[in-house]
Structures are given as structure tokens and as C-alpha cells.
């Protein structure tokens, strides 16, 4: 199987190289034909067309060959064929109902397999581009495909020619005994126990889909520079792929948070771990890119912003991968570093950024705004300013996060060089900057282009602001009754968590920031909700329809705008959840007396109004997976009333000596009770870590609403374009028959 897999890997590499050469020949032929046409000379039009057709066939062959490579690994995982070293290293011995899913996840669980899977996804997106442009193909599409193939060649080349990244390296004969079975030492190879959770299984492929999709926007940006085509054609081609990528990145980040919440046992869902942060970088730049696309399409402005954002979005995809694979930073998520990955991803980062800068330097005048002064911000209270600050904040925040993430690998003479920064440092920047950004998001949709009409703005803002004040008042009642007392109690406890709170600023600043955040969340929620309602009403009036029929028709025919407002609504909900569940957590650690002889405990564990009463314990060995599960059971009472049971677990891997903490979470409307069992101390007492996480349901439900709004914007049908692409056609583009809108995501 190793030989077969390697053979198809070579086929994919050869097909990718051949298609690049074909596209290059096709582009040179196209330029000659265009030059001849400009001089009224006869040209052989078949040359470019044939070469580009061969290039597209090469794209399909590359994708199919990489698909076969992936299927070979999947087959080996399910068949228990350990003739490939990677399969042995990443096999799962789990015997639960999800065992099949863990076996499948072996494909992307390790460094080599994940690179192969990622390369296949990039090639799959490339085939999607081929299919999407089959009826309206232009030379800009062929150039974009060539750029994507260059990225594929880089990935497949590393897989093929680098032994440390080769997914089909045969398992050494020393791993097997005379009977052909694994030796005792070889049997210790298996997937990390921490990865065996449904959320972590789905988390990586969601991120990889997002990463792969961002390559399309980058490719079209470079193609636009190569063609000198500053029309909106490349944006129309790339924007739906960009939105799909952004949504999948968000899903991946969210699933990673779920995994961290219930598996790592520290009670949170975001701890600014280096690899966690790495996955966020391209998502943040994606926010800037999506909004910039809207200005590009609507105003013919921010063209240079769009090109650089597309290049940066791809670059930060590679930065995230560089962080997780280079070995520069330490993380529970990181792969083992290797020098080849260090140089490959470092080179891709450099080339992608320099390509954008150099291309814009050459095409600077062409990528200016359609209208003189359109790129300038005439008035700070305008939609132009809102978009401008959106871009600046997202890009600067991404750069700062990147620096902080890699600071531990930097020389000591640089600021924070050699230091591994904790969550306090990140929160000190993220809290105020995030609240300010969402404030801009809340008022941006009601501002005007150029200069906002004051009377119109006040008229539009009156109703949503009044509703926001009502919601803010209700949130303040909850804050005063629950959140602020929890903060004071934690400070008075004198625990390590109290020290963390004090490090984040004095009480007046910390709580004042939370109050401002709740006000901004209220404004964002109702401003976006009212804009959503007005959008539906406006469509209903234009079509002279009413009632549920009008709502359904509006969402069917204006999906991007309305989906965008749903995303904005969700961000208001998420902000409320973030404030409660990250700033006002109540934590208590301690021990519960335990009598092993009777499997009982005379003590209870109390936190806030909750009381945990021990009811029993169990030990469940699983000889097939070499794991032992230690479980403790508690009845949970709230204000004296039984509200549920908690069953926290410690899963011990006898082969690797690793432990996985399966937290038990009891969810209520306004908070979670988070219960972790950490084993027993030297005296035989139960070690417990219990937290109350307020408003965390707002995070999960807000995230689900964000994904739904994004999917609505992506999946909505395309409306016919009223304008042609004359300029694009002259420069080798194709006539555009339809383009999705993403206006709502920018508050248009």
C-alpha cells in the first residue's frame, strides 16, 4: 500500500507541474493573440484555448490522484493495515460507538496526513473553480488556476521529496515480530487520547476547508494583478469562495472551543493558546476581506485594500500553519516541528505578501478608485470611515496577535522576546479593542457614504437605541444581581483566580469595561435587528407583498444582505456571552473526603448556590484500547432542590501514561455548572475543580446563529447583474452572468 500511495503522490505532482506549464503556455499565447488582435493581424486562437484546456484537465487529475492517496490511508486505518508508518502512529484503539470516526480522523491527525488532506482540499477547491467557470471562463480564471496549482505543487512537493513529511513511508521491519504482529514497543504507537472527542475530530477538517478556500481569493487577486484587470470581476469570482472559507474557519474555531471546554478540564473555551490564536488570525483578516469586497463592488473603492487583504488572508493561513508545525512555539495542539515545514511555510508567507506588494507597485494606477477621492475618508462619521476602521482594526489586531504568539521564539532584546505571554496580556488588548470594533459595527449600517446626514441618522437610530436601552437596563439588573457579586466574591477568596482578575486592572476599569460592553452588545443587537426588519419591509413594499410570504421572499431573494444582518445580531449575543463567561467566572478547587472501603463521602462540595453530594464511583477498564476510565458521580442541588447529576471522568491511557479529563457540564438558561474530577491525592481524597460560567449559552447560541447567517448569505441564489463586464472582457475576462452579494456582512 505504501508503494501504491507513493505512486499516486508522484502522479499528482507531475499532473500539477504539467498543468502549470500548460497554463503558462496558454497565457503567453493569449497575450500574443491579444496583441495581434490589437494590431488587426490574424492570430491562431486555438493555441491558448487548447493549452488552457490541458491545464484544466491537469487540475482534475491532480485532485483525483490526491483523493486516491487519501483513500489509501483511510482504507489502511479501517483495515488495520500497518504497513504504512503513519497509519501505525495515528491509529485509534477506541472501541466506543464513535470508533469509526476516530479511525477516519487518523487521516488528518498527524503532520504528514494533515498536509496531504490539506493539499487535496486545495485541489478540490480548484476543481470547484473549474466547474464554476466552465460556461463563462476567461483568461483571469486560467491565471488564478495556475496560481493555485503553484500552491499545490509546494505542498505535494514537500510530501513527495521530504522524508519527514512523507505519508507513505513503509513501517520498518523491526516493528514486527517473526509472526508478522506488532512488537510490544511498536504497539505503543497510537493516536493521542486527547484527540478522541467528536468536536476535535471535526475541528481540523473544518479549519483545513477554510484554509484551502482562502487560496482561491489569493489566486484571483494575483490573477487580477497579472491581467491588470481592476474591474470587479475577480471579486465576483472569489467572494463566494471567501465567504465559504470564512464560515468553515468559524465552525472550526467554534468546535475547537467546545473541545477545549469539555476535554482539557480548565473550565474555559479560549485560553489564547498559540495554536488557538493561529487559527483565529486568518479568520480576522477574512472579516476585513469580506467587508472590503463589499466596498469594491458597491463603490469601486478600496481596490488596493482588497488585493492586499486577499494576500494577507492567505499569508496568515500559512502563518497559522507555520506556528503549529514549525516547532517555534509550544502548544497542546502543535505538531512536532521539522525544518522542512519551517522553510516551506516561511517561504510561502514571504512570497504571498511580496507578490501582493510588488503587483500593486506595478499596477498602482489601475487599482485606484473608480471615482476620484472614493478611497479617502471625508468625514469620520460616515460609512467610509466605518469600513476604513474595520480594515485597520482587523489587520492591526492580527499583526499584534501574531507578534504576541511568536514572542516566545523571538530574541530577548525585542519587546516580550523569549516570553510566553499569558491570557491576561491578550485580554488586556482584546477586551477594549473588541468592544470598540463592535461599537463601529453597531452604528456602521446607519451611516451614510461620504458624510452622514445628521437628521436621517437620528431618525433611523431613535427606535433601535430606545430598544437597546431597555435591553441594557435588563442586562444591568442581571449584572448587579449576579455578575458583580461573583467578581467581588472571587476577589475576596484570595485564590489564584483572584490574582488573575487583579492583574487585568482595578475594579472600576474591569467592571466599567464590562458595562460598556453590555451597552454596545445591546446597541449591536437591536440596530442589526431593526436593519433586518427594515430590509424585509423594503423588499415587501417593492414587490407589493405582505405577511409570511413577504418574509420568505425577502430571505430568498436578498439572502446576502439579510444573512449579513443576522451575523451582526449574533455578534451582539456572543458579546454578552463573552463578557459573562470570561470575565465573571466563579471557580473553586478543593478536596472531598472519600472512604474507598465504603465508596462514600461524608462531605459535600458547595459553590455559590450549588451543592454537590457524592453518590458513588466506578472504574471501567478497556483492555482493547489500553485505557481505564475513573468516574465519580454526584447529585447536584441548587438552593436545596435536586437539578441533575454530574459524572466527571478521568481517562488514563496505560500505554502513554496520558490523562484526559472529561468534564461534566450541567447547563441552565443563564449559566453552566462545570465539574472536573482530577483524581485522588495521597490521602485518597477526591480532587475537584468546579466552576460556574454565567451566560455561556449566549456564546454557543450566538455562534450557531452566526453560522446560520453566514450560510444564508452564501447559499442564497444569485441575482442577475444589470451591468456588463466590458472592461474585464477586453482584458481577457468573461461576461458575468450573476454574482452573490455580501453587502449585509458589512452593514450595507
The answer, yes or no, to whether residue 734 has pLDDT greater than 50, is no
Q: Which of 280, 279, 271 is nearest to 422 (CA)?
A: 271
Instruction: Report how far residue 523's alpha carbon sits from residue 467's, in angstroms, rounded to the nearest whole number.
Output: 8
Give the gyration radius of the chain's Cα atoms: 28
Q: Which residue has the cell 466552465?
A: 134
Residue 231 half-sphere exposure toward CB, CA atoms < 13 A: 20
- State CA 73 to chain mean position distance: 26
Q: Which residues of 265-295 are buried (b: 16+ CB within 10 A; e: fewer)?
A: bbbbbbbbbbbbbbbbbbbbbbbbbbbbbbb
Residue 590 pairs with which residues in a beta bridge? 688
Residue 729: the pLDDT is 35
For the four alpha carbons of 368, 370, 373 and 378, in that order, the dihedral sign comes to negative
Instruction: Report the distance separating Cα 427 and Cα 404, nearest Å.
Output: 12
Q: What is the average pLDDT across 694-714?
A: 91
Considering only 250-264, 379-393, 515-529, 574-588, which range has the smallest mean pLDDT?
379-393
Ramachandran category for residue 553: left, alpha or beta (phi over 0 → left; psi -120 to 50 → alpha)? alpha
Residue pair 677/632 in contact by the 8 Å Cβ criterion? yes
Strand partners, 659: 652
Handedness of CA 160, 163, 166, 168 (dihedral sign): positive
pLDDT value of residue 726: 34
Q: Single out the residue of 395, 545, 520 nearest to residue 464, CA to CA.
A: 520
**What's the pLDDT band for 602 if we cut at 50, 70, 90?**
confident
Query: Cell for 151?
Result: 500552491
Instruction: Please tell me the number of Cα atoms within 13 Å of 287 on its side-chain side.
Output: 25
Specify the long-range contacts of residues 704-709, CB closer than 8 Å, at least 24 apart.
705/566, 705/569, 705/570, 705/573, 706/250, 706/566, 706/567, 706/570, 706/571, 706/574, 707/247, 707/250, 707/251, 707/254, 708/566, 708/570, 709/563, 709/564, 709/565, 709/566, 709/567, 709/569, 709/570
pLDDT (average), residues 194-198: 83
Give the whole-angstrom CA distance, residue 220 versus residue 242. 11
Most confident option among 133-142, 233-242, 453-462, 708-717? 233-242
Cell reading at 415: 519587546
pLDDT recorded at residue 329: 65
Q: pLDDT exceeding 90 applies to what percent of the chain?
A: 38
Whether pLDDT at 740 is above 50 = no
Instruction: Give, for 642, the enclosing helix (H) or strand (E).
Output: strand 641-646
Quick one: pLDDT band at residue 720, thresholds 50, 70, 90?
A: very low
Asked if 84 contacts 16 with a C-beta cutoff of 8 angstroms, the reply is: no
Name the helix (H) or strand (E) containing 690: strand 686-694
Return the axis-axis angle of helices 383-406 and 303-325, rounded to nearest 10°: 20
C-alpha–C-alpha distance, residues 646 and 673, integer Å: 9
Q: How confident is the model at residue 361 (pLDDT cuts 50, 70, 90)?
A: very high
Give the number of other CB atoms < 10 A from CB of residue 456: 12
- What is the mean predicted confidence (pLDDT) over 214-232? 92
**Residue 67 and residue 124: Cα distance in Å, rounded?**
9
Q: 543 falls in which pLDDT band (50, 70, 90)?
A: confident
In the beta sheet, which residues pair with residue 674? 665, 691
pLDDT higher at 410 or 689: 689
Q: Which residue has the higher pLDDT, 721 or 560?
A: 560
Calculate the alpha carbon distances from 583 to 102, 424, 515 in Å: 35, 11, 11
Q: Which residue has the higher pLDDT, 334 or 448?
A: 448
All residues at 6 or more sequence positions from 240 whose CB lies less than 8 Å from its CB, including other chains:
714, 740
Q: What's 658's DSSP letter?
A: -
Residue 745 is predicted with a pLDDT of 38
Whether residue 746 contacts residue 291, with contact meaning beta carbons closer than 8 Å, is answered with: yes
C-alpha cell at 560: 446576502
Q: Is the pLDDT of residue 718 over 80?
A: no
CB under 8 Å to 355, separation ≥6 — which residues?
222, 225, 311
pLDDT of 45 > 60? The answer is no
Helix, strand, or coil here: 629?
strand
Entry pTM: 0.87
CA gap 235, 222 in Å, rounded: 12
Q: What are the cell numbers at 631?
A: 468516574
Model confidence at 668, in pLDDT bands (50, 70, 90)?
very high
Amino acid at each position: 500500500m505504501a508503494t501504491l500511495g507513493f505512486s499516486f503522490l508522484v502522479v499528482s505532482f507531475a499532473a500539477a507541474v504539467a498543468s502549470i506549464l500548460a497554463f503558462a503556455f496558454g497565457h503567453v499565447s493569449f497575450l500574443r493573440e491579444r496583441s495581434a488582435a490589437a494590431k488587426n493581424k490574424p492570430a491562431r486562437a486555438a493555441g491558448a484555448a487548447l493549452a488552457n484546456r490541458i491545464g484544466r484537465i491537469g487540475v482534475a487529475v491532480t485532485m483525483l490522484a490526491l483523493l486516491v492517496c487519501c483513500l489509501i490511508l483511510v482504507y489502511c486505518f479501517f483495515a488495520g493495515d500497518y504497513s504504512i508508518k503513519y497509519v501505525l502512529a495515528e491509529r485509534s484503539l477506541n472501541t466506543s460507538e464513535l470508533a469509526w470516526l476516530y479511525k477516519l480522523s487518523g487521516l488528518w491527525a498527524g503532520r504528514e496526513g494533515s498536509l496531504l488532506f490539506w493539499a487535496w482540499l486545495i485541489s478540490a477547491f480548484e476543481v470547484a473553480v473549474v466547474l464554476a467557470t466552465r460556461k463563462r471562463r476567461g483568461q483571469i480564471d486560467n491565471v488564478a488556476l495556475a496560481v493555485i496549482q503553484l500552491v499545490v505543487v509546494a505542498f505535494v512537493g514537500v510530501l513527495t521529496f521530504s522524508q519527514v513529511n512523507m505519508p507513505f513511508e513503509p513501517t520498518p521491519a523491526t516493528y514486527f515480530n517473526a509472526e508478522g504482529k506488532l512488537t510490544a514497543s511498536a504497539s505503543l504507537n497510537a493516536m493521542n487520547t486527547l484527540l478522541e472527542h467528536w468536536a476535535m475530530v471535526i475541528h481540523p477538517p473544518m479549519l483545513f476547508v477554510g484554509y484551502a478556500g482562502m487560496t482561491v481569493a489569493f489566486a484571483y487577486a494575483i490573477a487580477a494583478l497579472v491581467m491588470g484587470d481592476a474591474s470587479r470581476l475577480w471579486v465576483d469570482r472569489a467572494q463566494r469562495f471567501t465567504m465559504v472559507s470564512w464560515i468553515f474557519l468559524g465552525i472550526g474555531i467554534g468546535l475547537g472551543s467546545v473541545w477545549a471546554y469539555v476535554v482539557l478540564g480548565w473550565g474555559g473555551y479560549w485560553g489564547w493558546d498559540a495554536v488557538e490564536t493561529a487559527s483565529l488570525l486568518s479568520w480576522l483578516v477574512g472579516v476585513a476581506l469580506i467587508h472590503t469586497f463589499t466596498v469594491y463592488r458597491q463603490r469601486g473603492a478600496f481596490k488596493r485594500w482588497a488585493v492586499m487583504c486577499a494576500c494577507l488572508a492567505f499569508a496568515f493561513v500559512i502563518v497559522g500553519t507555520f506556528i503549529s508545525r514549525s516547532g517555534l512555539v509550544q502548544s497542546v495542539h502543535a505538531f512536532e516541528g521539522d525544518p522542512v515545514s519551517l522553510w516551506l511555510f516561511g517561504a510561502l508567507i514571504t512570497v504571498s505578501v511580496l507578490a501582493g506588494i510588488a503587483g500593486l507597485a506595478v499596477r498602482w494606477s489601475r487599482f485606484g478608485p473608480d471615482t476620484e477621492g472614493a478611497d479617502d475618508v471625508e468625514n469620520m462619521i460616515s460609512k467610509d470611515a466605518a469600513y476604513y476602521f474595520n480594515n485597520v482594526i482587523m489587520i492591526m489586531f492580527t499583526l499584534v496577535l501574531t507578534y504576541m504568539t511568536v514572542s516566545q521564539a523571538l530574541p530577548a532584546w525585542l519587546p516580550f522576546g523569549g516570553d510566553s505571554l499569558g491570557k491576561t496580556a491578550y485580554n488586556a488588548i482584546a477586551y477594549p479593542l473588541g468592544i470598540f470594533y463592535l461599537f463601529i459595527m453597531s452604528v456602521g449600517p446607519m451611516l451614510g457614504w461620504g458624510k452622514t446626514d445628521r437628521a436621517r441618522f437620528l431618525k433611523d437610530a431613535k427606535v433601535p437605541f430606545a430598544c437597546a436601552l431597555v435591553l441594557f437596563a435588563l442586562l444591568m439588573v442581571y449584572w448587579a444581581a449576579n455578575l458583580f457579586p461573583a467578581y467581588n466574591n472571587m476577589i475576596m477568596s484570595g485564590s489564584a483566580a483572584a490574582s488573575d482578575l487583579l492583574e487585568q486592572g482595578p475594579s472600576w476599569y474591569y467592571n466599567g469595561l464590562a458595562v460598556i460592553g453590555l451597552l454596545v452588545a445591546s446597541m449591536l443587537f437591536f440596530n442589526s435587528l431593526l436593519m433586518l426588519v427594515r430590509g424585509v419591509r423594503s423588499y415587501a413594499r417593492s414587490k407589493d407583498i405582505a405577511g409570511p410570504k413577504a418574509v420568505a421572499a425577502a430571505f430568498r431573494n436578498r439572502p446576502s444582505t439579510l444573512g449579513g444582518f443576522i451575523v451582526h445580531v449574533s455578534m451582539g449575543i456572543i458579546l454578552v456571552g463573552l463578557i459573562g463567561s470570561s470575565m465573571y467566572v466563579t471557580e473553586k478547587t478543593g478536596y472531598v473526603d472519600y472512604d474507598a472501603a465504603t465508596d462514600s463521602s461524608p462531605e459535600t462540595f458547595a459553590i455559590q448556590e450549588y451543592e454537590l453530594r457524592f453518590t458513588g464511583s466506578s472504574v471501567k477498564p478497556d483492555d482493547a484500547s489500553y485505557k481505564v476510565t475513573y468516574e465519580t458521580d454526584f447529585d447536584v442541588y441548587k438552593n436545596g432542590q435536586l437539578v441533575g447529576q454530574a459524572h466527571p471522568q478521568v481517562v488514563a491511557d496505560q500505554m502513554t501514561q496520558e490523562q484526559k479529563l472529561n468534564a461534566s457540564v450541567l447547563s441552565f438558561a443563564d449559566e453552566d455548572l462545570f465539574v472536573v474530577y482530577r483524581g485522588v491525592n495521597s490521602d485518597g481524597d477526591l480532587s475537584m475543580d468546579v466552576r460556574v460560567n454565567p451566560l455561556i449559552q449566549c456564546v454557543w447560541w450566538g455562534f450557531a446563529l452566526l453560522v446560520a447567517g453566514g450560510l444564508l448569505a452564501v447559499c442564497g441564489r444569485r441575482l442577475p447583474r444589470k451591468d456588463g463586464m466590458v472592461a474585464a472582457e477586453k482584458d481577457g475576462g468573461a461576461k458575468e452572468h450573476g454574482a452573490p452579494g455580501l453587502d449585509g456582512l458589512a452593514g450595507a
